[in-house]
Each structure stands twice: as C-alpha cells, then as structure tokens.
Structure 1
Amino acid sequence: MATKTLITSARVLGGEEQDVLLEGETIAEVGTGLEAPDAEVVDAAGAVLLPGLVDLHTHLREPGREDSETVLTGTRAAASGGYTAVHAMANTFPVADSAGVVEQVWRLGRESGYCDVQPVGAVTVGLEGRQLAELGAMHDSAAGVRVFSDDGKCVDDAVIMRRALEYVKAFDGVVAQHAQEPRLTQGAQMNEGAVSAELGLGGWPAVAEESIVARDVLLAAHVGSRLHVCHLSTAGSVEIVRWAKSKGWDVTAEVTPHHLLLTDDSVRSFDPVYKVNPPLRTEADVMALREALADGTIDCVATDHAPHPHEDKDCEWGAAAMGMLGLETALSVVQHTMVETGLLDWRQVAERMSHRPAEIGRLDGHGRPIAAGEPANLVLLDAAYRGEVDPEGFASRSRNTPYRSLELPGRVTHCWLRGRTTVVDGKLA
C-alpha cells in the first residue's frame, strides 16, 4: 500500500492555506478540509509550501575531492536547503568528460536518496578548451546529460564554443558558459575597482565577464542553439542578456545568492571565505542583479555551491581557493534579498528556484505545479523564522560559508522527494 502524508493548512506558493495529500510518489489532492485517516499528518499552519527546489549549478566534488564533499553529503546538504534536484558540475577528478564518469555520478546520486543528481558534462576534454568532449556519448548514456559546461574555466576559444553550440543543438542540449576572459583576469584576486586599488589586490574587471557574454550570445544566435550564462555578476552582463532576449535569442542566465547580497566591501576583512569566482562586485551590480532577477532578465537562482576543506580557506588570501557554500542557505538569502524587499513573491520564487531551472536543464518530474497528479517533490518553509547561520550544523562536509553568524530568515522544516520525506522538523530523515 502506498504511503500517505496529509500536509494541513500550508500556504501553497505563499497564498491561502490549503491541505495537500500525498499518496505514494504523487500529489493526490489539493484543497481545504481534506481528510485521510490513514495518513501521516504534518501541521503546516502558516508555513509556505513550494515545489522542490532545483539547482543548475552544484559542485559535489566526487569523484576526486571527497575531502571537500561527496555526492552523499552534498545531496544531504541539498535536501536540508529544500532542493529535490541538483546539477553536478563537471570539474571533478577525473573530469566528467565521458559517459563513464557522468554515469558514475548519476548512480551515486540515485543511491543517496536525498535528491536527484543530474550530471553536467564537460564541454572540452579535461576542461582544457582544446577538443570537444564526448558530448553525444554523455547525452546517450544512462545519465542523459543535457547541460554541458567547463565551469571553473571559460570556453574561451570562439571556434570550440561555436562547435559545442552546434553539436548540442541536435539533441536540445545547452552549453552553460563560465564567462571569464582568461587574459583579462591573469593574477586577479577580486573585483577591479576602488576597493581593489585601496587594498592593493589584482583587479578582475567587469569587462572580462561581459566580453565573453557578448561574444557567446552572438554565437548562440548565429547557430540557433541554447546558451546559458553561469553566475552573472555585473550590471553590464545584465544589459547584454536583456538585449539578447529582446532579439528573441535562446539565452538564459543565472545569479547566485551571494551575488544578490554581498559586495566587494567584504574583502576588506581579507577573510578568504569571501574569495569567489566570479568575484563579489559593487553595490550597484548587486542592485542591478536583483532587478534583473525580478523582471525575468535573469531566469533563475543557482547556488554555485563550492565546498572546500578547512586548509584551502584557512590561509592567506592569495593562496586560498575560490568558492563558497550555497545549498543550505540559498532560500534564506533569496527570502532576505528578494521577498522581504518586495521584489518577488513566493510564486515567483518558485518560478526562479524550481520551474525555470528544471526547464532549462530539461529535467522531467521537477519544477512542476503543486496540483493533483503531479510528482510529490515539495519543500515546506517556516518563513517567519529568523536565526543566525551556524555552519557547524550543516550537512555539507565543508564549512566555508560567508554567512556565519549572520541572521537570516526562513527555515526548511520538511522536504519530500517523490513523496518520501527527506527532511522532518528541520532535520534530515
């Protein structure tokens, strides 16, 4: 007999309170005054019910850097943050540039049971930017790869980028570009601007991102293929993407939670926890990114969850690794920066953190409406909660969060993956 769960008095998509009955792997009924005597009851009075979140940009580090994260610990972190699916980036050791490696990651995800893992295939062999990887073989594998990225490195060769866009067009794939012109960022340590000049750190100019974004939207239009821009971080990049969309070109973009909240002023502390790629930008960039996410120019929020072991961050700034955790705090940061500022409502949060990323990744069964007959991939959020971030309680294997001791709103109380509870009362099942 299928298990049943009755979620009572939940604010579905932040609206009026409704009851939601889960039966087996699907939503059986949505309404008021529902009864199911044989069901487990979850009293959700006042809490917000959203479709399970989907992340287009997660670094799970396995295989090769299990000291930072594993597929198991990363998916546990994802569930804790309300995610039911993540896309695992290809910069592992070995690189996920073949059918064998992506299938390994995919199978590890299936074994974890906390959220679905969809591998992202490398665009080029070894992320070296010289030769296309086995794009067709990775797509035809059991993992069914649809998203390809050399994230961590830019596909800076225009001919290689064009060929990748041409190749993935055949099976409706998408190339997700890490937009960073390498010659313009040699020796760069942080955003180029007044703060970098004051601190004497190598500057990372906005044009290093914007020049690649501009080139690639033109290439995507020329080929008639899908382009996704990873971790957009500058106001100039926003304008280029807005222009491309006005042309009707198939271009999408993401923004990270940390680029919605933090600025390059944080670097004044010289705390390597704030060292990230692309770098934290100016307040003006942050405001432009928020407005672009609100008006739909930026399609979705993606965490760029980048775990690192203690020794890679507890060192001098110049030697520290780039990246920060994101999965367990993303929804809280979005609530703080977008919902509490009136830029988004909860229905729009669901669009940008579930529906659109699932659509861009062509991920079936996720990002679906909360309605009868749909998969029971759901997250319940206590939006009234406020508390300090304590990374010691994280499910991730790493602790490199920039939000330590920062008070943020919202707490995931429950999460369901195809009707099976993965988080109960704020704790992993």
Structure 2
Amino acid sequence: MIDSLVTSQVATKDAIRMLLNAAFSSGRPFALWRKPKSNVLELVLDAEEKIRKVGMEIEELPAGFIIHPFEDQEDKKAYFIKASEYFSLDLSLEPQEIDFPDWVKNQPPSKGPLEQFLTNNNQSTEERKVNVSVGSSKAHFLELVEQSISWIKAGKLEKVVPARTKTIPLSSNFDLVQSIWELMNSYPNSFVNFFHLPEVATWLGASPETLIETKGDEFYTMSLAGTQKAQGDNPLKSAAWTQKEIEEQALVSRYIVDCFKKIRLREYDEHGPKTVLAGDLLHLRSDFRVNMKSTNFPQLGSVMLGLLHPTSAVCGMPRKEAHEFLKEHEGFERCFFAGFIGPVNIKESTAIYVNLRTASFGDGEITLYAGAGVTEDSDPEKEWEETEMKCRIIGKFFQSEES
C-alpha cells in the first residue's frame, strides 16, 4: 500500500512537471493553482506572448487569471492571463487516467525548461536589489512600527499594516515541482499558486485569505486578522487571543460592513469570528455571504473588489490615510505582495485572493514578503517575530536552512 502511494505521488509530480515544462517552453504567460480544500490543480496558458491588462469589471472578462499589484495602477488595470488553454488535473488520478492535451503531450518530460528558468531568471534588476535592501532591514522595520504606533496614538490612524521582505538564496537542489507539491500538502486550506509573467514577474505562494468569491448567485468574502503559532494537539481549541488581536480582527470586519453600507446593501449573513488554521499559524476569521439574486446586485463582485482592495488587513484604517502613511514611510515597493490574484470566470466561478504568504523569484534567490497589523498596543519586537513566522511558511520550501 505504501509503495503504491509513493508511486502515485511520483507519477503526480511527473504530471505537474510535464505541465510546467510545456508552459515554460511556450514562452507565454501562465498560472497554476489549487483552491483551498480542493484536490484539483488548474492551469491557464495565454495564446499571446504580449502581457495583457484589463479593467476591474470581472463579470465582463473572459476566462483567465487576474493579477493586481498592491498599488493601484495609473491605467486602473490589472495584469491578466487569458485562458487560451485550460487544463485541470485531479490529483487523485492514477497516471494512466490522465488525459493530457496535445500542447502538453508534445513536450519532452525533462527538467530542461524549468532548469533554464531557474538559472536564467531575468527578474534581478538594480531596482529590485535596492528594494530588497530597504525592505529586509530589521532596524528599518522596527522604526516603522514605532512610527505607526505614534501616528495611532496621535489619532491619525486606527491601525496600519507595515510590511517587510526577506531575501534568501535558492538551495542548490531547489525543485519547483517539489515545492508546489509540498505547499499543497502542507497547506490544504490555502490558495496555492504559481504565476509567470515573462519579463515582468514570477511568484509562488499559499494565501489563506479570500478577497472575493462569486459562484452562481452567491457572493462571499472574509475578514482575516490576528496571528499566533499553532501549538498542542488541538490548537483550534486551545488558542487564546489577546484583546489587541480581537480588536484588530474586529476592525477588518467593521470595514467590510462599512463597504456594504456604502452601497446600501443590508441583506448579508455574517458568521464568526472563529479560530482557523493556516499551516502552522492560527488566525481569527469572519465569513460574509450575500445572495446577489435576492439583493438584485449581479455586479457585486466587481463593486466589492473596488471597495475592499487594499483591505484593512493588509493596509490599515482609515484606508486612505493608512495607505498614504505606508507610501511615505515603508520605503520599498510591495509589487504584487498584498495585491490580489486568482481565477476569473472559470467553470462559472471567480475566486480572488489577497496575495499573502508569497515569494518572488530573482536571480538565484527568492524574496519573501510579510506584514503585521499594528495597533496602539503593539510591541515592535513581537511584530518582527510575527513577520518572521509568516516568512518561514514559504521560505522553508526553498532551502533546507534559511540564511
């Protein structure tokens, strides 16, 4: 039985390798993902090498994968990978049961394109190096948290979410397929994703936070905040939350409700907060659901996308003031970290996630990103420790020991 399971895992990883080889060989944008609590790996590949950008009216978009940075763009558009080719892989299938499309079958089952990508990655620019240097400084982050607390005590902000980076070298035996496989197995409740925009960016992550989801007439979003390490045999029952963490999560929930009020939406279901597990970490989460048909709001997805991003969980409150504070004091470019990503209009469903627990590829290195919610009661050293925990979630899949 064990030998059979091992053989099946090897075969499944070989199937993922075939998909990635074919996608990289095409030279075109593509995205690979597995939704939370799903056993299906999905991939979209664009027919064009040119990078597409689209507006935010998601109901009008063709099937594809949307990628939006943390910052709003001047053209008010997002990157988009059109699903010119779409393939879904049931991870429970035996290898002989997998029916690959021709564009995958015609590629040799080698590591060639993957190795070429990892050894010839063109994402390491001088701008990136400067960005990484500022973002990875502990002294800078501690000072940023102190500034955040001062602004909150002065009544200028209620909460702010400063971020930082951590750059580590790729291990000499790094295997992208193995990393994706381990992420899927380690974080079944997260959105595991890998996307490649040639000449722009390549990222890998496992996000625990849904921004918006629409399926049929149902709309869903969540408020996720508060972080602690999962401990003991039953961490969900033994978790104890501080007043600071409870208030932090309540602020995020209140912001969602305020967005509903802005559009005069009164009919919604709210459940929570409850403790949820995301890998080795625990968070507080509340769920919000709306029936778009009964509320006569078929474009609620697009409307809430515009109102929610960037959420108070990754930016702060009030949103405008928190965003301006971060832009002035954070000192580095977040790029796609804390932006949003996800499949759009695939199988009559859209699922967009906040791009958290994520890393970008550089030349022989990867950069991890993490933020921490700061309130009046925050302690700078503890906020640094929280970002270290979040970096480890992804960082441990790139090398055996972080440096």
TM-score by shorter chain over 0.5: no
TM-score by length of 2: 0.25
TM-score by length of 1: 0.24
Higher RCO (C-alpha 8 Å, min separation 6)? 2
